[in-house]
Amino acid sequence: MGVILSDRKYAIQEISQIDRILAKFQGIGPIKAAQLRAESDRLEAFTPKTPEFAYLLCKSVSYENRLNMVHALWDVVYADGTLKDVEAHVMDVTQNHLGIRPEDWAAAQTRAQEAAHLST
């Protein structure tokens, strides 16, 4: 969830969007999604730093599922309708560490941008 707080803000509109993304991504209801988000926020303090965590994910999670994570992260980034420099940097680092091909992360970003503009 580090991408959520990368701009040091966690707006109400972002929370509801994040809960919707989690519900869709995990196939769960809104209450479970809110609980998952809250638990993720608490656990973040104990997770390894990005390179180590990404290495663990690459070893244990398929490319397709890592790409799905990137899609969800881009949705979170654009939850407030903007892309801040710090968020772009976090996404670049995260995608590189996750081994996502540039054309795949560019397509994921474009899809998230289009979805954000449609919903605003």
Taking only the tens place, the pLDDT of each residue in 65-86 is: 999 989 988 988 888 888 889 8
pLDDT single digits (tens) 84-109:
898 899 899 888 889 999 999 999 99
Q: How far apart are CA 84 and CA 61, in angstroms?
A: 28
User: Confidence class of residue 48 from pLDDT cuts 50, 70 and 90?
Assistant: low
Distance CA 46, CA 105 (A): 27
Q: Which residue in 11, 8, 12, 25 sits closest to 74, CA to CA?
A: 25
Cβ(37)–Cβ(1) below 8 Å? yes
For residues 116 and 78, the answer to whether their CB atoms sit within 8 Å is: yes
Q: Which residue has the tokens 């919707």?
A: 20
Q: Are 74 and 114 in contact (CB under 8 A)?
A: no
Distance CA 112, CA 71 (A): 7
Determine if the pTM surpasses 0.85.
no
